[in-house]
């Protein structure tokens, strides 16, 4: 029997993303082109929505049934021609297992992320370093086709399987024509128009990536991460307020990072600063909460999690417990301050009450949307004025100290992490922030010597504060009434 070359393809996806559909399309294309083919799948539930693997082998050329080779049932490390990953961490998983090699493998992966449970549970920032994954993909693969496939999927309202299929076609790893790919998508009969649109968009993006000629100096992973953070931060500010607010964010970051040839350490400090600047500019108040709770995508996500069919009613009840501080925060500055000053601590605690609002009812939805429509008034509110004042001082300190000491800049960039929550939690975070500012940042501004050591001290102080926020906050004195009791005679 003559030796027939075999192409080996490994698809790494998450449960529900359509990895099985993609494998079915590949099998059908291979068979209709006269090739012998075999596909196996390994479902898993180890992380997120369940990591799944699909392994395919087909002959590199058309063969008769008598010449069909014996295929392997599972992939072998260092013996895979094409690895396809629907998400960045899935690509890292394939790298870790040795399926990607510099002399053989073409890696096709999305740069988007679906965070694991362990990453979400972290008290501060438990996300894995995407820049490290990016470096590994460029180093360990013979060829790497990387793009944000999730954005393409959302833009065309299709499944990730169609985007992956188009990327494989554009990367020239499929031995059949584009028309054959289109035919199997059309034959599937489900979401054909959206699937074809996603297929061609991804295919063109992959072709552009392969044909692009580098004319500039290579961009380091830290610079790529900074650019990505700035893009996400600008989009967040646009969704939070308006286009002017997004432009303000972009200008603040651009002015701070205007210098050329920044070191990786300084770029990392500004990346962290840009991330926390966006989060701080988009603090959550009653207006923001009402907006988030009535977004169409949230309702769609809840219906999907409840596995509700078309026509079925889903009732969503929102739980609120507003206090005087939350109400005063969205009022104009003078009115908000007056309300807080005229309210005693006992009245503040007594005023808190629970509200149950059904956001899927007409009355509840209109009430929340009415609150969300107060967005143009936010810039006049008490909370906005307080946050903007503190944020401006922090950002100016970043601009002054980060270029002198990237170590101190990185620590200072993470200082806003102590500002969390609302009510008592927010008050405690503000007290911790003010304490760290007075003891660690102000001395560095007045006497900027030994900034590296001061930066390490600030980082340790922030870590200690986050691990035990109550440890450094003095309990507020509580007024107690004088009680008189009649003496009982002996």
CA neighbor of 403 nearest in space, from 434, 438, 457, 448: 448
Q: What angle do CA 129, 134, 139 make, to 5 degrees?
A: 130
pLDDT above 70 coverage of the chain, percent: 86
Structure confidence by residue, pLDDT tens digits, 329-362 = 888 989 988 988 887 767 666 666 678 889 889 9
CA angle (232 as vertex; 227, 236 as ends), nearest 5: 145
Per-residue model confidence as pLDDT tens digits over 448-474: 788 999 999 999 999 988 888 776 654
**Domain architecture of the chain: domains with CATH:** 6-211 (3.40.920.10), 221-284+383-467 (no CATH), 286-380 (no CATH)
Burial label, 448 (beta-carbon count in 10 A; 0-12, 13-18, 19+): middle
Confidence at residue 81, expressed as pLDDT on a 0 to 100 scale: 95
Per-residue model confidence (pLDDT) at position 468: 81
- Please list, in sequence order, all residues whose beta carbon lies within 8 angstroms of the beta carbon of residue 265, skipping any fewer than 6 positions away: 406, 407, 410
Residues 399, 394, 244, 153: is their CA dihedral positive or negative? positive
Q: Mean pLDDT for the chain?
A: 85
Q: What is the per-residue pLDDT across 54-100, written as a single tens digit (0 to 9) for each? A: 999 999 888 887 777 889 888 999 999 999 998 888 888 899 889 99
- Summarize pLDDT for 247-285 with one digit per residue, the tens: 999 999 988 876 656 788 899 999 999 999 999 999 988
The residue among 221 and 473 whose pLDDT is bigger is 221
Give the 3-state secondary structure of residue 32.
helix
Pair type for strands 82-85 and 106-110: parallel
Closest listed residue to residue 206, CA positions, set 171, 236, 178: 171
Contact indicator for 246, 230 with CB cutoff of 8 Å: no
pLDDT at 214: 39
Residue 215 has pLDDT above 60, yes or no: no
pLDDT band at 306 (very low <50, low <70, confident <90, very high): confident
* Mean pLDDT (whole number) for 138-165: 89
Distance of CA 270 to the CA centre of its chain: 18
d(CA 446, CA 461): 19
What is d(CA 326, CA 423) in angstroms, rounded to the nearest whole number? 7
- Residue 326 binned pLDDT confidence (cut-offs 50, 70, 90): confident
**421 — alpha (psi -120 to 50), left (phi > 0) or beta?**
left
d(CA 104, CA 313): 53
Q: Which residue has 């969503």 as its token pair?
A: 316
Segment 279-296 mean pLDDT? 91
The pLDDT confidence band at residue 113, using thresholds 50, 70 and 90, is confident
Query: What is the C-alpha end-to-end distance of the chain, expressed in Å?
Result: 113
Burial 108-134 (b: 16+ CB within 10 A, else e): bbbbbbbeeeebeeeeeeeeeebbebb
Q: How far is CA 144 from CA 91, 124, 273, 480, in A?
A: 11, 32, 30, 69
Distance, CA of 175 to CA of 97 (rounded, Å): 27
Query: Which region, left, alpha or beta, applies to residue 16 given φ > 0 means left and ψ of -120 to 50 means alpha?
Result: left
CA distances (Å), 457 to each of 103, 355, 412, 436, 451, in order?
A: 46, 43, 11, 11, 10
Question: Residues 434-461: what's their mean pLDDT?
Answer: 91
Specify the pLDDT at position 456.
Answer: 94
Per-residue pLDDT averaged across 406-431, rounded? 87
Confidence of residue 111 (pLDDT cuts 50, 70, 90): confident
pLDDT at 90: 86
Give the whole-angstrom CA distance, residue 75 versus residue 380: 61
Any bridge partners for residue 12, and if so which?
53, 85
DSSP result, 348-402: HHHH---EEEETTSHHHHHHHHHHHTTGGGGGGBHHHHHHHHHHHHHHHHHHHHT
- Would you state the pLDDT for residue 216? 42
Give yes or no for residue 14 having a pLDDT over 90: no
Closest CA to 169 of 215, 201, 123: 201
Tell me which residue has tokens 């002996």: 490
Residue 352 to residues 155, 330, 355, Cα–Cα distance (Å): 43, 16, 10
Flag whether pLDDT at 205 surpasses 60: yes
* Measured torsion, CA atoms of residues 137, 140, 142, 146, in degrees rounded to the nearest 10: 0
* Residue 245 and residue 374 in contact, taking contact as beta carbons nearer than 8 Å: no
Identify the weakest region by mean pLDDT among 11-20, 55-64, 368-377, 435-444.
Answer: 11-20
311 has pLDDT over 80: yes
**Burial tier of 398 (Cβ tally within 10 Å: 0-12, 13-18, 19+):** buried
**Beta strands of 92-249 (E only): which ranges?**
106-110, 143-147
Side-by-side strand order, sheet with 6-14: 37-42, 51-59, 6-14, 82-85, 106-110, 143-147
- pLDDT, average across residues 409-416: 94
pLDDT in the model for residue 350: 66
For residue 428, give the H/E element and its range.
helix 424-436
Inter-residue contact 193 to 235 (CB < 8 Å): no
């Amino acid at each position: 029997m003559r030796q027939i070359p075999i192409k080996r393809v490994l698809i790494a996806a998450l449960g529900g993303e359509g990895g099985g559909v993609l494998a079915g399309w590949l099998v059908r294309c291979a068979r209709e082109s006269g090739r012998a083919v075999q596909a196996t799948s390994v479902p898993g539930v180890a992380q997120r929505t369940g990591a799944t693997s699909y392994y395919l082998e087909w002959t590199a050329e058309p063969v008769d049934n008598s010449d069909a080779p014996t295929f392997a049932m599972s992939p072998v490390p260092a013996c895979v021609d094409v690895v396809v990953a629907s998400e960045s961490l899935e690509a890292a998983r394939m790298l870790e297992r040795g399926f990607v090699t510099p002399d053989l493998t073409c890696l096709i992966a999305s740069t988007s992320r679906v965070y694991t449970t362990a990453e979400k549970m972290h008290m501060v920032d438990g996300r894995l370093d995407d820049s490290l994954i990016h470096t590994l993909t460029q180093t360990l693969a013979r060829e790497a086709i990387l793009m944000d496939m999730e954005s393409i999927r959302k833009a065309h309202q299709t499944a990730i399987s169609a985007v992956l299929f188009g990327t494989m076609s554009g990367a020239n790893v499929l031995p059949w024509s584009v028309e054959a790919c289109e035919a199997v998508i059309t034959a599937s009969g489900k979401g054909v128009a959206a699937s074809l649109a996603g297929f061609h968009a991804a295919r063109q993006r992959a072709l552009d990536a392969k044909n692009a000629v580098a004319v500039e100096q290579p961009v380091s992973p830290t610079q790529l991460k900074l650019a990505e953070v700035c893009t996400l931060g600008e989009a967040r500010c646009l969704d939070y307020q308006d286009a002017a607010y997004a432009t303000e964010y972009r200008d603040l970051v651009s002015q701070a990072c205007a210098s050329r040839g920044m070191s990786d350490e300084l770029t990392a400090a500004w990346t962290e600063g840009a991330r926390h600047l966006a989060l701080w500019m988009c603090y959550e108040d009653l207006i923001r909460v009402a907006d988030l709770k009535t977004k169409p995508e949230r309702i769609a996500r809840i219906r999907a999690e409840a596995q509700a069919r078309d026509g079925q009613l889903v009732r969503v009840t929102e739980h609120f417990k507003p206090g005087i501080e939350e109400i005063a925060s969205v009022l104009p500055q003078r009115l908000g301050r007056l309300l807080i000053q005229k309210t005693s601590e006992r009245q503040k605690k007594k005023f808190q009450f629970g509200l149950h609002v059904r956001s899927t009812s007409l009355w509840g939805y209109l009430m929340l949307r009415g609150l969300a429509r107060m967005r143009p008034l936010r810039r006049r509110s008490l909370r906005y004025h307080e946050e903007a004042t503190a944020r401006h001082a922090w950002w100016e300190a970043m601009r002054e100290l980060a270029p002198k000491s990237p170590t101190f800049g990185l620590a200072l960039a993470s200082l806003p992490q102590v500002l969390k929550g609302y009510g008592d939690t927010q008050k405690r975070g503000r007290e911790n922030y003010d304490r760290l500012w007075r003891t660690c940042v102000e001395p560095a501004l007045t006497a900027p010597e030994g900034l590296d050591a001061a930066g390490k001290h600030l980082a340790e102080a922030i870590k200690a504060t986050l691990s035990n926020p109550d440890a450094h906050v003095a309990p507020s004195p509580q007024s107690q009434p004088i009680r008189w009791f009649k003496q009982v005679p002996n």
